[in-house]
Amino acid sequence: MRSRLFKAMLLGLAVGVAGLLISPFGFVRGIEENRGLGLLFKLRGEKQPSSDVVVVSIDKESSEELGIPDNPDKWPRSLHARLTESLKKAGAEVVSFDVHFIEPRVAEDDNLFAASLRNAQNTVLCEPMTAKEIPLSGKDRSSGVHSIVKIVKPIPLFAKAAVATAPFPLPRIPFKVNNYWAFQTGAGDSPTLPTVAFQLFSMPVYEEFIELMEKISPGSPGKLPEKPDAALETLGAKELIRSTREIFESEPMLAEKMLMELERSKPSPSDVKSYRLLKALIKLYGGPNRRYINFYGPPRTVATIPYYQALQLGEGAADGRQTDLKGKAVFVGLSEIILADRKDSFYTVFSEASGIFVSGVEIAATAWSNIMDDTPVKPAGTLFYFAIILVWAFSWAPFAGCIL
């Protein structure tokens, strides 16, 4: 019996050491990530996303109701102008278009959309990204390649009228989307669509954020304006985010100290939202560039309004109901119970065997909700990760002892 137990312990130790040796390799982490996250979400089940985010879906239902082509690229931009005005009247805090506006179309429609963007002053437009690989050495192609990421901005007419523009890159099929970039590595750490949208959404607590930073680290805010309006006017949304991010990167302990000070403040019930915004904003700037997505469920788990219904906000719905968008973050883009052949569909842990995937705009809204509710999926630390491998290996010891 002792001999069997000894052999089993040796086997467990050997398996554990082998696991530790191969665990750093990318293919092992990839397997664990895909299997582990899938199991995590399956055991947890569906979860309610933040009530502060809504998706306005560009979908087939809306195209039929409006009598326009099913292809969203052919939708007249005068409709986007109407939608922007409608969402502003409904009280949306920030609106993000996950739609590409990189080519001019009908001049009259383009001018209408640009005017609505200037009047709203709360709209972010998406920047598509392209990647080009070039050899590191022109003579020896085997020496490797270097990937250059290029951001394609919307046409100047729209880029100047919008409050900001931002990219939101995601891997395409056959890659499973498990994470996103809060700050796009390889593109100058450019803030992505959910990050820019959240910064604009949290501008009501901007002064408190600056005061807290100054209290913890006098002089840290540097050239950051004290007032929110001045920050957006003098720096612009993206430069404000970049400058703030640089401060947090130069002082690695700043986020932790700000969070500790925030905890001491003990907010009153009336300040709960401000407290949540400040906490989320600090963690956004103090966190990593790339983050795991905490999916809430299958397509349409995030509250969704069809595009044609969003156009009617403020006009009185036929059934007497109105969707409350006051103070919410709204994401506009292709979103329906879509199949894999749609160009803005992505394979995720909630993708179904029938081919139903999640849309890019819903992933952006999900990432935003993760930031707002501080519910990211965090990988285990290195020591804990190694401990799990060893415990798992030794858990097989009794079974191995029976065989041996």
Q: Does residue 117 sit within a domain?
A: yes
SS3 annotation, the chain? CHHHHHHHHHHHHHHHHHHHHHCCCHHHHHHHHHHHHHHHHHHHCCCCCCCCEEEEEECHHHHHHHCCCCCHHHCCHHHHHHHHHHHHHCCCCEEEECCCCCCCCCHHHHHHHHHHHHHHCCEEEEECEEEEEEECCCCCHHHCEEEEEEECCCCHHHHHHCCEEEECCCCCCCCCCCEEECEECCCCCEECHHHHHHHHHCHHHHHHHHHHHHHHCCCCCCCCCCCHHHHHHHCCHHHHHHHHHHHHHHCCCHHHHHHHHHHHCCCCHHHHHHHHHHHHHHHHHHCCCEEECCCCCCCCCCCEEEHHHHCCCCCCCCCCCCCCCCCCEEEEEECCCCECCCCCEECCCCCCCCCECEEHHHHHHHHHHHHHHCCCECCCCHHHHHHHHHHHHHCCHHHHHHHC
Q: Can you tell me the mean pLDDT for 183-201? A: 88
Same domain, 233 and 342: no
**Domain-embedded: residue 196:** no
| Mean pLDDT score of the chain | 81
pLDDT digits (tens, 9 = 90+) for 253-309: 999 999 999 988 777 666 888 999 999 999 999 999 999 899 898 888 899 999 999
Looking at the fold, whether 241 and 388 belong to one and the same domain comes out as no
In a domain, 74, yes or no: yes
Residue 165 and residue 111 in one domain: yes
- Domain match, 174 and 308 both: yes
Any domain includes 197: no
Above 60 in pLDDT, residue 212? yes
pLDDT tier at 318, thresholds 50, 70, 90: very low
Q: Tell me the average pLDDT across 87-111.
A: 95
How much is the pLDDT for 179?
86
Chain centroid offset of residue 376 CA? 10
Position 183 in a domain: no
Domains contained in the chain, number:
3
Q: What pLDDT is stored for residue 74 in this prediction?
A: 87
Is 194 part of a structural domain of the chain?
Answer: no
For the ranges 67-71, 99-103, 346-350, 362-366, the lowest mean pLDDT is seen at 346-350
Query: Are 58 and 21 in the same domain?
Result: no
Q: Which domain holds residue 242?
A: 204-292
pLDDT of residue 222: 86
Is 76 among the domain residues?
A: yes
Question: What Cα–Cα distance (Å) separates residue 393 from each residue in 13, 16, 89, 398?
Answer: 7, 5, 60, 11
Output the pLDDT for position 272: 86
CB distance 169 to 184 below 8 Å: yes
Check whether 338 has a pLDDT greater than 60.
Answer: no
Please, what is the end-to-end C-alpha distance for the chain in angstroms? Answer: 10
114-171 confidence digits (pLDDT tens): 999 999 999 999 998 765 554 544 444 444 544 455 778 999 999 999 999 999 987 6
What pLDDT was estimated at residue 320? 40
Same domain for 114 and 170, yes or no, is: yes
Please compute the mean of the pLDDT values over residues 77-91 and round it to a whole number: 96
Residue 141 sits in the same domain as residue 101: yes
User: Cβ–Cβ contacts within 10 Å for residue 24, how many?
Assistant: 9
Q: In this structure, are 306 and 267 located in the same domain?
A: no
Q: Is 213 among the domain residues?
A: yes
Q: Do 58 and 165 belong to one domain?
A: yes
pLDDT, tens digit, 9 for 90 and up, residues 32-62 = 666 667 777 777 778 899 999 999 999 989 9
| 396 shares a domain with 318 | no
Residues 223 and 90 reside in one and the same domain: no
- Calculated CA dihedral for residues 349, 331, 71, 300, nearest 10 degrees: 40
On the question of pLDDT at 391 being above 90, the answer is: no
Q: Is the pLDDT of residue 93 over 90?
A: yes
Measure the CA dihedral 298/302/305/306, to 10°. Answer: -30
The answer to whether residues 62 and 8 belong to one domain is: no
End position of a domain, from candidates 244, 271, 292: 292
